[in-house]
C-alpha cells in the first residue's frame, strides 16, 4: 500500500514537472522569436536616428464590461532604443480616463504597464503595424 502511494506521488510529480517544463519552453521560444524579429528588423532598416519616434502601435480593447465596440485603446510611441510613451484611454459610459506612462528600454519606467499597454509596446517594437489586435484582452 505504501509503495503504491509513493508510486502515484512520483508519477504525478514527474508529469507535473514535464508539463511545467513544456510551458516554460514554449514561453522561452516565443521570447527568442520576438528578439530575433526585433534584431532582424533593426539590422534591415539601418541605424538612423535612434532617438526619433519610429515605432507606433495601437491596441484597441473593451476595458469595461458596460462598453463594447473596443472603444478603449493604448498607443505606444517608441524610438529605436525602446524609449517613449504609452498613451491609454479607458472609455466608460459616463466618463473617459486618459493616462500616459513613460517607457524605458521597452518596459514601464516608474510603474508596471497593464497587459494591453505591454502588448502595444511589444507590437510597436516588433514593427507589427499601427493597428494590432490586442491578444491580451481578446482572451479575457
What's the structural domain count of the chain?
A: 2
Residues 6+ apart with CB under 8 A from 49: 80
Same domain as 35, residue 4: yes
Same domain as 25, residue 68: no
Same domain as 70, residue 29: no
Range of the domain at 83: 50-138
Same domain as 114, residue 57: yes
pLDDT tens sequence for the chain (140 residues):
778 888 898 899 999 999 999 999 999 998 888 888 877 766 655 556 677 888 899 999 888 877 677 889 999 999 888 899 999 999 888 888 999 999 998 888 888 999 999 999 999 988 887 877 776 544 33
Same domain as 98, residue 61: yes
Same domain as 91, residue 27: no
Same domain as 105, residue 37: no
Q: Report d(CA 64, CA 67) in Å as an integer.
A: 6
Same domain as 39, residue 56: no
Amino acid at each position: 500500500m505504501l509503495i503504491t502511494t509513493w508510486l502515484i506521488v512520483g508519477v504525478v510529480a514527474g508529469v507535473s514537472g514535464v508539463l511545467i517544463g513544456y510551458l516554460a519552453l514554449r514561453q522561452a521560444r516565443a521570447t527568442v522569436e520576438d528578439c530575433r524579429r526585433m534584431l532582424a528588423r533593426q539590422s534591415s532598416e539601418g541605424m538612423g536616428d535612434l532617438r526619433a519616434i519610429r515605432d507606433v502601435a495601437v491596441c484597441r480593447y473593451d476595458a469595461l464590461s458596460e462598453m463594447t465596440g473596443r472603444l478603449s485603446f493604448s498607443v505606444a510611441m517608441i524610438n529605436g532604443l525602446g524609449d517613449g510613451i504609452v498613451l491609454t484611454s479607458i472609455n466608460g459610459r459616463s466618463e473617459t480616463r486618459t493616462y500616459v506612462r513613460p517607457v524605458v528600454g521597452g518596459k514601464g519606467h516608474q510603474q508596471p504597464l497593464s497587459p494591453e499597454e505591454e502588448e502595444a509596446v511589444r507590437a510597436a517594437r516588433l514593427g507589427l503595424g499601427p493597428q494590432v489586435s490586442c491578444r491580451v484582452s481578446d482572451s479575457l
